[in-house]
A = this chain, B = another copy of it.
Amino acid sequence: MGQSFGKNLKVTIFGSSHQEYIGVVIDNVKPGFEIDMVKLDDFMQRRAPGKSRFTTKRKESDKAIFISGLRENKIISKTITALIKNNNFKSKDYNNLNDIPRPSHADYTSFIKYGKDMDMNGGGPFSGRLTAPFCLAGGIAKQILEEKNIKIASRIKNIGGIYDKSLDLANPPMDELEKISQKEIPVLDEKKEEEIRKLLEDVRSEGDSIGGICQVFGENIPQGLGDPLFDSFEAKISYLSFGIPALRAISFGEGLNSINMRGSAHNDQFELENGKVKTRTNNAGGIVGGITNGMPVVFDLIFKPTPSISLKQKSFSIREKKEKDLLIKGRHDPCLALRTPPIGEAILALTVLDYLYE
């Protein structure tokens, strides 16, 4: 674990945001698959910074440079390695980082664990930038699954308390979700989109930030993935998800709402549709007893507000052991949740592919 995950499909992320390269090793792929590079690039661009007014201004091209395992986009080995170049990596924006820890960033816990020699420029090994190689791996996994007719999509479900429209989890509108995926604010309801946009503008002009929920959907996920007890499908999804910076909660199906429901409403009753077993509702989000049941897999990722804000905050100097005010310079994502939908899709794609390679 640490920088690696997966039981059969093993993925290892490496690098830091302020060094030359970040990258990923993907082990145990099957030779023969041809990667659609345009599609992969599109997928990665959904996460990349600088594309919208509401994400950080730092521009990164985020192009995958494959250094092993591919020949003319076709997988020719069991291991793929790819690099992503960090531009501007000598930036000195974060100069007083190592002495005055930023609240709700990993600066202080990094100091506790690794001491003063850990380079925390750009967040060091805690940087959200490492979700770029994560999405690179996830984008490839998503393509491999698509060939098997397994579809994965996502949306922003909530920003700062404003909910997008509610959906029937038994029949998520996969095509519509696909359509909104490249939007600045990928929600289905345009009125809510406008409300969220206004909120984000306010938050940004205040120098503040806001949290949100990303909701992930999987269709045609094979039945029978996962195990009872300590290897449930939810356990694997959540393990991987809590590797994503700023995640604070995860919920499956109608998980968060389930406390307001009676069992009679929450239970997903069975029906047969042309001999196929289905459930009328899908409050379980496609997973019962830790095992997928063939209904759509649905889960929510709840992200905290971006911890980097422009407002003055209370901190202290590690060296001087004295309280200090802190003002973080530079422009920041007012809402990092906006960039998480491809990350959520990568989590699901990599988890499902890991199971399929069993």
Binding site for B on A (CB under 8 A): 1-5, 7-8, 10, 12-16, 19-23, 25, 27-28, 30-32, 67-69, 71, 74-79, 81, 83, 101, 103-106, 108-110, 112-115, 117-119, 124-126, 130, 158-161, 203, 206, 208-213, 223-224, 226-232, 234-236, 238-243, 245, 247-256, 258-264, 266-272, 275, 277, 279-280, 283-284, 288-294, 300, 302-309, 311, 313-316, 321-323, 358
Contact residues in B for A294 (Cβ distance below 8 Å): 112
> Closest residue of chain B to A222, judged by CB?
B112
Contact residues in B for A305 (Cβ distance below 8 Å): 258, 261-263, 266-267
Contact residues in B for A290 (Cβ distance below 8 Å): 106, 109, 126, 242-243
User: A226 to chain B: closest CB distance in Å?
Assistant: 8
A242 touches B238 (CB 8 A): yes
A57 to B294, CA, bound (A): 34
Contact residues in B for A224 (Cβ distance below 8 Å): 109, 112-113
- Interface pairs A-B: 8 shortest CB-CB: A106-B289, A248-B255, A209-B263, A249-B251, A263-B305, A249-B255, A31-B117, A32-B117
Query: Provided the pairs A230-B2, A293-B108 are in contact, do residues A252 and B259 lie with their beta carbons within 8 angstroms?
Result: no
**Copies of this protein chain in the complex:** 4
A215 to B225, CA, bound (A): 29
> Closest residue of chain B to A313, judged by CB?
B269
A269 to B304, CA, bound (A): 15
User: A319 to chain B: closest CB distance in Å?
Assistant: 13
Query: Provided the pairs A31-B117, A113-B224 are in contact, do residues A229 and B22 lie with their beta carbons within 8 angstroms?
Result: no
A297 to B74, CA, bound (A): 34
B27 touches A25 (CB 8 A): no
A314 touches B280 (CB 8 A): yes
A103-B269, A266-B305 provided; 7 other pairs, C-beta below 8 A? A78-B118, A109-B291, A211-B259, A211-B261, A235-B243, A248-B256, A280-B314
A124 to B68, CA, bound (A): 11
User: A127 to chain B: closest CB distance in Å?
Assistant: 9
> Closest residue of chain B to A236, judged by CB?
B239
